[in-house]
Structure 1
Amino acid sequence: MALSSSEIDLFERFRPRLEAIAYRLLGSASDAEDAVQDTFLRWQAADREHIETLGAWLTKVLTNLCLNQLTSARARRETYVGQWLPEPLPAGDRMLGPAETAEQRESVSIAVLTLLERLSPNERAVYVLREAFGYPHGEIAQILDLTEANCQQIHHRAKQRIATDRARTQPDAVTTRKIVEEFLAATLSGDVDGLVQLLTTNATGVADGGGHVPARATPVTGALTIARFLRGAWQPALVERYVGTGALSARVADVNGTPAVLALVGDRVVGVISMDVTTDGVAALYIQANPEKLRRLWPTS
């Protein structure tokens, strides 16, 4: 059934929220866009006169489409070259969604999006809908065709798993940015000792090259090992070999709501180092170098 212009406008009012939900569920902006477009097509083909609450209906359709994608994505990621990390987004990208509360801001950080990969599809959906968008358990239960009691149990389990992996305290925004700036300065100067001081003893580093640029197939563990790895990786000749010629530079910018290091060749972003900054130091590095996952960052460069 063809859509009127008013019906299209109505869907567009929901699109930013749907994209924000889908991005948190899938960790990929391109996959989120596809899921939202599929939701639009389902709505276009539906008997719209019998849809009582459009927002609830769209959220249910979208969430279930994302759950199907998550199931197939796990199979695809078994053949992914190297480590898989979420797609980073620049400040102001509407897929980041609401950021009024600490829970909303944290739910879209690269650190938490990476941890969400360890949850089952249902756990991830319940966690995202509850923590990031404040849906009551009754509505989430209807969206996922669960009982409300089961939904509450799943949320408790998912939240506990995330909290266990993020047991350390995060510093305030000013301190976090200062640490990231110090990290960048130490990296650019090749100051191994300075980097070691900024990292926690058991820090981990994960890099995603997607098979397009070289990246460690397994995480790097330990402050000294990571510091030496960064000193070796931050070589102009190495960068030129794999990502092209041009002036190599770096700067701090907000990515997924937290300060991160952008690596640039000319005006093109070729890498992002997101960090899990705690009061004990930098506990984890998430290095995104897959060019297919950096496209939305180019306009900020």
Structure 2
Amino acid sequence: MDEREWLAQRFEADRPRLRAVAYRMLGSLNESEDAVQEAWLRLQRSDAGEVENLSGWLTTVVARVCLDMLRTRTSRREQPLDGRIPDPVVDATDGIDPEHEALLADAVGLALLVVLDTLAPVERLAFVLHDMFAVPFDEIAPLVDRTPAAARQLASRARRRVRGTEPLPETDLPRQRAVVDAFLAAARGGDFDALISLLAPDIVLRVDSGAVPVGTSREIHGSAAVAGQALTFARHASASASVPVLVNGAAGVLSLVDGKPRSLLSFTVRDGQVTRIDILADQARIARLDLASFIADRPES
């Protein structure tokens, strides 16, 4: 086996972990693939024989590439904090695709990725690498041009933001699905009181419609406002159908209109109530998702 073949095999073995790092850093599936590919190109140009810990080296390369991408994104203001829902990972209700397992380890739901988007790039890097991938601070410090102690403080600030914003969601999928199904039934039946009972008082509904030029996001707060919005949508969605799916490992719904994907809903459930609904309705991004199998598998009504 020559060196290039050996490197390729080693890189492929690390690819799932590298994609997971990039997805947590960027919240974008396409950009994550770009970051991982850039790490492969840099590996080919390097003297790999001088690298003692190749997996660690690749992780830091991907993190550095992602940090540069985040800084560019911020400086160009291409994605305002309230303007985008991160890319969802969609699976069938009978289980997560093996290729998605590393991406979704540690319960990386859309709600968590939305919070990560509010962090400064260096805070996000420190938190992701240390708290999610156990990278020591003395290895993180050079990436953010800080001392190890300062890198630790970056991760600590990020950790407080994450913990203070999003309480741990329900992890029991059947219980999640029961709540989501009850929510959909109440919306279709026009039962406002039932909706109120299923929604947390401080629920947040976020809709990313992807309007030109930078995308728009609408947030609605409070159970009464969200229930009203759900009833309004249900009244105008007589031609729609709902397909149960998993969105980042949690109960979700793919909404179809005339048999075509129109929106993707992700639900965060805690203590038997919906605490957050994230709706991706950007038609360009919906079209890029691999959703054909969910539509093909839908039973005829």
Of residues 249, 257, 262, the one that matches 2:249 is 257
Q: CA deviation at 1:52?
A: 2.3
Q: Bigger CA drift: 91-100 or 224-233?
A: 91-100
Q: Residue 24 of structure 1 contacts residue 113 of structure 1 at CA under 8 Å; is this kept in 2?
A: yes
1:298 correspondence with 2:297: no
Residue 113 of structure 1 corresponds to: 113
Q: What is the TM-score normalised by the length of structure 2? A: 0.83
The CA distance in 2 between the partners of 1:158 and 1:81, in whole Å, is 16
The CA distance in 2 between the partners of 1:131 and 1:227, in whole Å, is 36
In structure 1, give the amino acid aligned to 2:262: V
* 1:38-76 deviation per Cα after TM superposition (whole angstroms, max 9, x unaligned): 111111222333222211111111101101111122244
The CA distance in 1 between the partners of 2:132 and 2:285, in whole Å, is 23
SS of equivalent residue, structure 1 residue 4: helix
- Structure 1: segments with no counterpart, 5+ residues: 239-246
User: Structure 1 residues 88, 217: CA separation in 2 closer, same or farther (over 3 Å shift)?
Assistant: closer
SS of equivalent residue, structure 1 residue 152: helix
Mapping for residues 152-171 of structure 1, pairs under 5 Å: 152-167=152-167, 170-171=169-170
The CA distance in 2 between the partners of 1:78 and 1:231, in whole Å, is 33
Q: CA deviation at 1:138?
A: 3.6
The CA distance in 2 between the partners of 1:166 and 1:121, in whole Å, is 19
Q: CA deviation at 1:79?
A: 6.3
Residue 94 of structure 1 corresponds to: 99
Mapping for residues 83-232 of structure 1, pairs under 5 Å: 83-90=83-90, 91-92=96-97, 94-97=99-102, 104-105=106-107, 108-141=108-141, 143-167=143-167, 170-173=169-172, 174-211=174-211, 217-232=217-232
SS of equivalent residue, structure 1 residue 49: helix
Residues matched between the structures, number: 284
Q: Bigger CA drift: 20-29 or 138-147?
A: 138-147
Percentage of matched positions with identical amino acids: 31
Q: Bigger CA drift: 87-96 or 153-162?
A: 87-96
Q: Residue 16 of structure 2 contacts residue 103 of structure 2 at CA under 8 Å; is this kept in 1?
A: no
Q: Residue 73 of structure 2 contacts residue 79 of structure 2 at CA under 8 Å; is this kept in 1?
A: no
Residue 71 of structure 1 corresponds to: 71
What is the RMSD computed on CA atoms of the aligned residues? 2.8
The CA distance in 2 between the partners of 1:10 and 1:41, in whole Å, is 14
User: Structure 1 residues 81, 300: CA separation in 2 closer, same or farther (over 3 Å shift)?
Assistant: farther
Q: Residue 204 of structure 1 contacts residue 283 of structure 1 at CA under 8 Å; is this kept in 2?
A: yes
